[in-house]
Amino acid sequence: MKILGIGNALVDVLYRLDDEHLLSEIHLKKDAMTLINERWEHEIENLTSDIEKRMASGGSIGNTMVALARLGNEPGYIGRVGNDGMGSFFEQKLSDAGVHTQLIRGDEATGVAHTFITPGGSRTFGTLLGAAYYLAPNDITEDMFCGYDLLHIEGYLVQNEELIETICQKAKQAGLILSLDLSSFNVVSKHRTYFHHLISDYIDIVFANEGEARAFTGSFDSQEQLRHIAHLCETAVVKLGEQGSIAMHEGGRIYKCHAEYVENVVDTTAAGDYFAAGFLHALTRGHRLQKCLHTGTVLATEAVQVMGSQLSPAAWNRIKTSIDCR
């Protein structure tokens, strides 16, 4: 099965902080994604001028598609970037990894996710969507889905309901399985009713971390969260951080996978994105949920041990050996 992703095409600008003080100065909520405007971004750039930073291709779904390509898949990606250096950087990084890009080019600047990594590996985002904000329903055409079997969608897109509705309708008409990552607890809280409609009417597979699942279901019990989501779709997955992950098919048993011990968590930025890649990689090869959870866990474990989302060739070799990609 071939996997296609659609989401906000962003370049990550990564900063490692010694404490959380700067987050207060720039008015960002820890562990959340906050949309910022150009004035806010200018303030961030001024306050971080003396801090070392790194750039990487980013966006949740972009990260997932890159990981899938590294595992030997031939994924595709739909997004909108600007006619600028950042847009070319984003496209080149995905192409180098083996992702087939279907990028819409706009006159706006390419979106940027300012990513602040605090002790313990937590990450906080200040995101200027830029060109990604202007991805529109009329950009989405039926032929974009040709040759693919599964579409993985970024929950952040729910902030444009007409866009995500169009995506889901056209993907379903093309016969694709639909997978959704809930993306951020604050986005889920704001759009809870619409997410319920989206999952009930279109989505086959849902990924949520514990905070997102709590915001969606109102429950603090992870297994209750899982059952609630699985009642609305075919397959539900709840990621529990150090407690591992759980999954179930509607009406089936609950599967659980323990997290692997990591002595030094460097950065959790792409852990959930890589988990989704591993899970979907195994699922589309016909594996059972236990194997899917294990594969996702292997990828996430490697992801939290590096800054950003770029794993070394040695790390990918370890992953392939561990999950047996044959």
Q: Give the C-alpha separation, 223 to 318, whole Å.
A: 31
Ordered by where they begin, the domains of the chain are 3-11+58-110+129-323 (3.40.1190.20)
- Helix count and strand count (H, E) for the chain: 12, 14
- What does the pLDDT read at residue 142? 94
- What does the pLDDT read at residue 266? 77
Phi, psi of 84 (to 5 degrees): -145, 180
DSSP line for 120-166: TTEEEEEEE-GGGGG--GGG--GGGGTT-SEEEEEGGGGGSHHHHHH
The pLDDT tens digits of the residues spanning 75-132 come to: 999 999 999 999 999 999 999 999 999 999 999 999 999 999 888 878 899 999 999 9
Q: Give the C-alpha separation, 39 to 253, whole Å.
A: 50
Query: What share of residues in the chain are helix, strand, coil (percent, to 5)?
Result: 45, 25, 30
Of all helices (H) and strands (E), which one includes residue 246? strand 245-249
Could you tell me the pLDDT band of residue 265, with boundaries at 50, 70 and 90?
confident
The pLDDT tens digits of the residues spanning 212-259 come to: 999 999 999 999 999 999 999 999 999 999 899 999 998 789 999 999
The pLDDT tens digits of the residues spanning 129-178 come to: 999 999 999 999 999 999 999 999 999 999 999 999 999 999 999 999 99
Question: Is 172 within 8 Å of 162 (Cβ atoms)?
Answer: no
- What does the pLDDT read at residue 325? 47
Exposure of 27 in the CB half-sphere (CA atoms within 13 A): 7
User: Which class for 97: exposed (0-12), middle (13-18), buried (19 or more C-beta within 10 A)?
Assistant: middle
Separation of first and last alpha carbons in the chain = 15
Question: Is 304 within 8 Å of 272 (Cβ atoms)?
Answer: no
The pLDDT tens digits of the residues spanning 236-249 come to: 999 999 899 999 99
